[in-house]
Amino acid sequence: MTSSGGFPWIFVIGGLPLLGIALIYASPAERPEESKRIALGASIASLIATVWMCAAYHSAGARFQFVRSYDWIKAFGAHFAFGVDGIGLALILMTTVLTPVIVLASWHDAEDGKRSPRTFFALLLATEAIVVGVFASIDVFLFYVLFEAMLIPIYFLIGSYGGARRSYAAVKFLLYSLAGGLLMLVAVIGLFVVSKHQLGHGTFDYRVLSTQLHLSHNEQVALFLGFFIAFAIKAPLWPFHTWLPDAAAEAPTGVAVMLVGVLDKVGTFGFLRFCIPLFPGAAKSLAPYILGLCVTGILYGALLAIGQRDMKRLVAYSSVSHFGFIALGVFAFTSQGGSGATLYMVNHAFSTGALFLVVGFLAARRGSRQIEDFGGASSVAPWLGAMFLVAGLSALSLPGLSTFVSEFLVLVGTFTVHRWFAVVAIFGIVLAAVYVLWMVQRTIHGPVKPGLENMRDLNLREAWVIAPVMAVIVALGIYPKPLLDVINPSVHSTFSHVRPSDPTPPVAASLGGRP
C-alpha cells in the first residue's frame, strides 16, 4: 500500500452510499418510506464528507492529494488507487451536491406497486459511489472497470423505471456505451503492453504512464482514438450522441438529471484526464478535426432543439450543444479554455438539472411533456413559472448566472488560438436563445390553456429540490473564483503536456506585446 497521508476521504465518500445500500436492504420491504429516508441520509452524509475533503484540499499543493493505493492484480500491475486533483475534486463535489437533490426529486418515482422502491434508491446510491470512484481513480485499469460498471445501475434505472419506450432507450444506451468501452479496453491493453516493453514491467499507474512513457506518433494516435471515441460516446459529442435524446426522454426525472448532469461528465473528464496527458502529440495533431466536431455539435444540437415539441428531448438536444462547448474548451489547449470547460461541466450539471427538474414538475401535473399542452402556467403557478424562467435563462448563458462565466472563458480561450472556431460557436448562443425563449414563452406565458386552471404551485418537497440547484446557479454566476482557484492549477498541469504556456493573444501580438 502507498499513501500520501491524511484521511482516506475518497473511501469514505464512496463508501457511505454503499453503506446506505446495505441499510436499505436491511430495512423492511413493506416500508418503502424508510428506504427513501436512508438513501437521502446516505447521500447527505456523503456530501458532508465531500465538503470536509474540499476544506482539507490545498490548491497550491501536490497535483494529486488524499492518495491511497493498494495492490489489486499484481500480475497485471493494477492497483486499487485513488487520488484527487482540482478537476476531480470539483466534479466529485458536483456529484455529491446533486445526489440528495436527485433522491428527493425521485421520492414518488417507484410507487406504482409493480416496481421496488428499495431497488430504485439502491441503484441511485450505487451510481453515486461508482461515479465518485471514476473521478478519483488514478489507475487506468481501475478507471476502465468503474467506467463500465456505471452502465449497470443506469441501464436498470431506465429500463425498469422509465417511460413507455424505456426498453428501447436502455438497450440503445447500453449498446453505444459497450461499443465505446470495448475500444477503450483495446487501448488500455495497448498501454500495458507498451509500458512493459519500455519500463520492463507493465503498469496501469496513471502517474507513471503520463510521465515516463514515450510513445511514437502512430502509437499515440491509435491509443488516443481508443480512449477518445469511448469518451465521445459517453459525453456525448456529435456524431456519437444519438443515444442521449432517447435515454434522457424515457428516464425518470431524477435519473435524467443523474445521466445528463453527472454521468455524461465522465466523457469530458476523460478528455482532460487521459487523452491529453497520455497522448499529447496525438491530441495536438487531431485537435483541429475534433474542434470541427465540436462546433458542428454546437450548431446541430441547437438546431434540433429548436425543432422539438417534447420538452425533455429539447433539453437533451440542448445538452449536445453544451457538450460541444465543453470539448471546444478542452481541445483549444489554453488555460482559459480548459478552466472554462471544467467549470462548464459543473455549471451544465446544475443548469440542465434545473431544467429537467422543472419539466418533470410540469409533466407530473399535466400528464404530458408536449409544449403545446401548456400555456400560461406562471399565471396559476407563479413560483413554478419563475423557476422555469431562471433555469431557461441559465441554459442560454444569461450574465449573472453560472453558465455565462464558463461559456465566456471557453470562447475567450478558443479565440486566442482558433478564432474562426470561436466565431462559429458564438452562433450556438444565438440559437440557444431561440429554443429556450420559445419554450418558455409557449409554456408559462400567454393565456392559460384549458385544463391548467387548477394546476398547483411548488409544494414543500419540490421547493427543497429546486432551491439548492438555483442557489448554486446564482452563486457560481456571481462569484466563481473559489471553484476556479481549485481548478486552475490542475488545468495548467494537464495542458503543460501539450503547451508549456498560453499563446500570446493575437491582439497583443499585433501591438508588439504592449497592453
Q: CB neighbours of 457 closer than 8 A, spacing ≥ 6?
A: 380, 381, 382, 383, 384
Stretch 333-356: mean pLDDT: 91
d(CA 9, CA 214): 33
pLDDT digits (tens, 9 = 90+) for 24-50: 988 887 787 888 899 999 999 999 999
pLDDT digits (tens, 9 = 90+) for 459-514: 888 889 899 999 999 999 999 998 899 998 888 888 887 766 666 555 444 434 44
Q: Is residue 110 part of a domain?
A: no
d(CA 31, CA 38): 12
- Average pLDDT over the chain reads 87
Q: Is residue 436 part of a domain?
A: yes
Residues pairing with 205 in the sheet: 139
Confidence of residue 381 (pLDDT cuts 50, 70, 90): confident
Sheet containing strand 2-3, edge to edge, reads 2-3, 65-73, 78-84
User: What is the DSSP-derived secondary structure letter of residue 139?
Assistant: B
Instruction: Write down the pLDDT at residue 87.
Output: 92
Q: Is residue 128 part of a domain?
A: no
Per DSSP, the residues of 8-70 read -HHHHHHHHHHHHHHHHHHS-TT-HHHHHHHHHHHHHHHHHHHHHHHHH--TTS-SSEEEEEE
Triad 34, 127, 323: Cα angle to 5°: 135
Residue 5, pLDDT > 60, answer no
Triad 318, 319, 325: Cα angle to 5°: 100
Per-residue burial over 388-403, b if 16 or more Cβ lie within 10 Å, else e, is: bbbbbbbbbbbeebbb
pTM over 0.85: yes
* Count of C-beta atoms within a 10 Å radius of residue 363: 18
CA-based nearest residue to 391, from 452, 436, 448: 436
**Three-state SS for 473?**
helix
CA distances from 48 to 59, 68, 96, 430, 489 (A): 20, 20, 9, 39, 24
Rg (CA), the chain: 22
Q: Is residue 26 part of a domain?
A: no
Q: Is residue 133 part of a domain?
A: no
Q: Is residue 65 part of a domain?
A: no
Triad 233, 193, 214: Cα angle to 5°: 85
Instruction: Write down the pLDDT at residue 471.
Output: 93
Q: Is residue 130 part of a domain?
A: no
User: What is the DSSP-derived secondary structure letter of residue 162?
Assistant: S
pLDDT digits (tens, 9 = 90+) for 52-90: 999 999 887 778 888 888 888 777 777 888 989 899 999
d(CA 133, CA 92): 9
Stretch 259-284: mean pLDDT: 89
- Could you give the maximum distance between any two Cα atoms of the chain, in Å? 75
Instruction: Write down the pLDDT at residue 18.
Output: 94
**Three-state SS for 370?**
strand
Residue 16, pLDDT > 80, answer yes
User: Could you give the number of structural domains in the chain?
Assistant: 1
Q: CB neighbours of 96 closer than 8 A, spacing ≥ 6?
A: 13, 43, 46, 47, 49, 50, 128, 132
d(CA 24, CA 433): 44
Q: CB neighbours of 65 closer than 8 A, spacing ≥ 6?
A: 4, 6, 57, 58, 83, 84, 85
Residue 183, pLDDT > 80, answer yes
pLDDT digits (tens, 9 = 90+) for 415-425: 888 888 888 98
Q: Is residue 118 part of a domain?
A: no
User: What is the DSSP-derived secondary structure letter of residue 200?
Assistant: S
User: What is the DSSP-derived secondary structure letter of residue 310?
Assistant: B
Instruction: Write down the pLDDT at residue 457.
Output: 84
CA distances from 87 to 94, 273, 493 (A): 11, 9, 11
Domain hosting 462: range is 296-505
C-alpha cell at 497: 503536456
